[in-house]
Structure 1
Amino acid sequence: MGHRYHDIAFTPTVADLQSAMGSREGYAAMGAGGQRNHLLSERERDFIARRDSFYLASVSETGWPYLQHRGGPPGFMKVLDEHTLGFADYSGNRQYVSTGNFINNNRVSLFFMDYPNQRRLKILGRVQIVSTGEQDILTLLEDSDYPARVERGFLIHVEGFDWNCPQHITRRFTEAEVQSLIQALQEDKLLQSRDPEPVEDRSAAWPAVVGEGPLELVVTGMRQLAPRIRAYELRDPEGRELPPVEAGAHLVVPVLLDNGELGDRHYSIASNPARRDAYEIAVLSKPDGRGGSAALHRGYRLGLRLRAETPANHFALHADPRPALLIAGGIGITAIKSMALALAARDARFELHYAGRSRGEMAYRDQLQRQLGERLFVYSAADGERLDLDSLLLAAGADTVIYLCGPDRLVTGALRIARKLNIPGERLRLERFN
């Protein structure tokens, strides 16, 4: 018994078709390991509590599926505990098709959609109809500020769930969300109209060639990935192939600090490790840091030549066929991204869980969603989403290798949980940013 949604939805016929179409290997790992995805975690509970609608499918006596849309105020679908959902059914529905179907077949499928953030949660369960005589349960399900009369309630006992691929979900916004976006743009425009504080440009003080290392590079591209994160493309000045690297490798690049001293900083190589034409590093500017990232943001420019150290790797990816669990916090995605691309290239089994302060501050998020599809899970603190390390590490298979890169708090928490779960050190590989 493994992933409960897999065990229910991926029947032998479906599995045979997946094999025939070449996708079975990517799903086979879902069926292995202990029972999971049958108990709602804080992540699912928070997601459902924010939804103001969902789609509900039942099965009729004729064997035909019946799909219905249900809407209400955010949170009208109540999460009662880790395996039970429920909602009140108010007067006004005159067809009673779903209710009639549930009398003879209590199976149900639910789709919860988050259109602005391109996310969806699929749930399979069994329905229990709650009559008006069961007032203690109905009280838990009704919305006190909704005036209609409650005719019945529905409890849904969760059998399994799965987060679905964000690809092809068209972003849609409610009127309130549009107004919020417009207000934010207006406030941003107002801030931009004010005279900014002058920032001294020290890039002119940098020489044409910086550093003393053996590897010659030139800055050939710059991209703003997020408000404080900028990517730099580095190539050989003569267009030659660069030294080969593996996923997890880092580059030590020179930085001319504001006090005039030459320093160096370590940055993960975020580009696809299969590339030999260029390296890409992504740098988070930290005004309260040691000054290296801020100086790099000010001084690195197109055409600047660097003498860097040759790449090194102290966070290497395993080469055997074991599955991988990748976890990134904030700028830690730079080390994890190359691992995800390498694993995808060899059609390995893996998931990437990426947490950040907000979606707008998460470097490479859109690119990874296109490249990884349903293997990527994103958690935005601004949207109330939380990376549940306990659940992730608990659900990881006994042979899964776990990689985590991020701030000290995240790494320390993972170590604590790993000790509690007796996860061997060989299976937990960490890199932190201090």
Structure 2
Amino acid sequence: GGPPGFLKVLDERTIGYADFRGNVQYISVGNLQADDRIALILMDYPNRRRLKIWARAKVTDEADDPALIARLEMPSYRARVERAIVLAVEAYDWNCPQHITPRYTEAEVGEQLLAPLERKLARLEQENQRLKFRSVGAPSEKNSGDILGDGPVELVVSGIRQLTPTVRAYELRAPDGAPLPEWTPGAHLAMPVALDDGRTASRHYSLSGDPARADHYLIAVRRDDQGRGGSAALHRTFALGTRLRCALPNNRFPLHEDKRPALLIAGGIGITPLRAMALALQRDGREFALHAIAPTPAELPFRSELAAELGPAVHFWSTRAPGQPTPDLDRLLQDLNPDTVIYVCGPTRLLEGVLAAARRQDIDPTRIRFERFGAPPPEAGDHPMTVELRRSGQTLQVRADQSILDAALAAGIHALYDCKAGVCGTCAVKLLAGEPEHRDTVLSAAERDRAGLLCTCVSRARGDLLVLDL
């Protein structure tokens, strides 16, 4: 099936239809390459008739015959045509469904057609079970049967796909196929990762699939060879059948639940939580627009999926690709509904650019919600400070270009941490004295003011001294 008019008559003995980009199902092309015979049934409901066509199919790629592709395009359907399926008609038959004469008897169908297929399916099922047991149920030499992590949610890597040269998508399912715990758009999963030094670390990755799907989770991980080693180790060690125990999905970047419009702005790998938000907004029929920015089209994860899923609601921008539209943050924020909630996820320079554009247009900063990848850069007014660690009995001299957390780790202090960007809250400790300058994006006003918490990875002292319960 397809949109009205998708099947076109090319000449008196030839018909054809377009195979659109984003259609990744094997049946459209793979089966035809194995056997070019095809039968079509076209229903004429008003006249209670049906037309059956027998034909031979030929697959023609876009680059081989642009003129043919142009003839099969659908003006009302914006997806790009990737290839053409051309059918050379060999026979046809008009008849009423009430008077269709079977070509084979029921016995002939069973003996000659179904029995061999059933035997073949039985063999394939046995082979499938054997492979499934070998890669998931039975430990291979690669994973030695070990389960990485100690969280309450057991998962197995069931799919891996290379999205860009540096980004891989990982599909995660329950080993027994059971439904997974629910999650909401913007949530992340704390993934256990085996580092090269033998330690198991926790790394947070946004859930980027459809929140309505309970059969699997989907994360996308960008390999950063200059980072702390987590993403590179994950790329090297996660394989089909890798088993994990993760924490429950957690959401510190939630999507508003009311009917206010949403503007989503993603930079690079920052598309991951915003894709989930866009899918949820579209399903609920809520007003939104998604702007996805990357250096080049090839460096944006999920680009083809977004185009197919969201249609005109998604806009693509490139910062380094000649001939591609470039982003103008001031224009993106112009003429917004005053109730629009703005979500930004990506590198610090994108967040700072959006905040600066919002200030120029007098947009209330409380309407902007963001998730940052990477620690914010040092600010011009940063100065050295003294930090007293009451429980450890040590006093640290923290440089202007150094975080409290890094100074504590360098001094041999055992301090909990994860993101080092002020977005997860793992490193938060109680402030006992001093005036803080909070730079995290995770602690609430109550956590800062009443509980007295401070994130040591990004926050600093306004004065010269802080005293911490560490």
TM-score band (shorter)?
Answer: 0.5 to 0.7
User: 1:395-414 to 2 correspondence within 5 Å?
Assistant: 395-414=335-354
2:155–2:245 CA contact under 8 A, matched in 1: yes
Q: Does 1:360 align with 2:298?
A: yes
2:79–2:308 CA contact under 8 A, matched in 1: no
Distance (whole Å) between structure 2 residues aligned to residue 304 and residue 171 of structure 1: 34
Point out where structure 2 has 5 or more consecutive residues left out of the alignment.
Answer: 1-61, 64-74, 84-140, 375-470
Corresponding residue of 1:181 = none
With over 3 angstroms needed to count, the CA separation of the structure-2 counterparts of 1:352 and 1:417, relative to structure 1, is: same
Corresponding residue of 1:323 = 261
Distance (whole Å) between structure 2 residues aligned to residue 354 and residue 246 of structure 1: 21
Letter paired with 1:250:
H
Corresponding residue of 2:205 = 267
Deviation at 1:394, TM superposition (A): 2.4
Corresponding residue of 2:229 = 291
Q: Does 1:235 align with 2:178?
A: no
Segments ≥4 residues shifted beyond 6 Å: none
Letter paired with 2:348:
D
With over 3 angstroms needed to count, the CA separation of the structure-2 counterparts of 1:305 and 1:171, relative to structure 1, is: closer
Distance (whole Å) between structure 2 residues aligned to residue 401 and residue 348 of structure 1: 12
Corresponding residue of 2:367 = 427
After superposition, the C-alpha distances for 1:363-395 in whole angstroms (9 at most, x for unaligned) are 111011011111111012232432111111123
User: 1:202-217 to 2 correspondence within 5 Å?
Assistant: 204=142, 208-217=146-155
User: 1:346-357 to 2 correspondence within 5 Å?
Assistant: 346-357=284-295
2:79–2:307 CA contact under 8 A, matched in 1: no
Distance (whole Å) between structure 2 residues aligned to residue 266 and residue 257 of structure 1: 15
With over 3 angstroms needed to count, the CA separation of the structure-2 counterparts of 1:205 and 1:257, relative to structure 1, is: farther
Corresponding residue of 1:187 = none
With over 3 angstroms needed to count, the CA separation of the structure-2 counterparts of 1:350 and 1:208, relative to structure 1, is: same
2:78 maps to which of 143, 161, 167:
167
Deviation at 1:321, TM superposition (A): 0.9
SS in 2 for 1:280: strand
Letter paired with 1:329:
G
User: 1:23-422 to 2 correspondence within 5 Å?
Assistant: 167-170=78-81, 204=142, 208-384=146-322, 385-422=325-362
With over 3 angstroms needed to count, the CA separation of the structure-2 counterparts of 1:165 and 1:397, relative to structure 1, is: farther
Number of aligned residue pairs: 243
Distance (whole Å) between structure 2 residues aligned to residue 345 and residue 382 of structure 1: 33
TM-score (norm 1): 0.53
After superposition, the C-alpha distances for 1:48-72 in whole angstroms (9 at most, x for unaligned) are xxxxxxxxxxxxxxxxxxxxxxxxx
| Bigger CA radius of gyration | 2
Identity of aligned residues (%): 48
SS in 2 for 1:383: coil
Distance (whole Å) between structure 2 residues aligned to residue 412 and residue 247 of structure 1: 23
Distance (whole Å) between structure 1 residues aligned to residue 365 and residue 145 of structure 2: 45
Distance (whole Å) between structure 2 residues aligned to residue 270 and residue 401 of structure 1: 20
Deviation at 1:320, TM superposition (A): 0.9
TM-score (norm 2): 0.49
Distance (whole Å) between structure 2 residues aligned to residue 433 and residue 246 of structure 1: 20
After superposition, the C-alpha distances for 1:377-418 in whole angstroms (9 at most, x for unaligned) are 101223243211111112322111111100111011112222
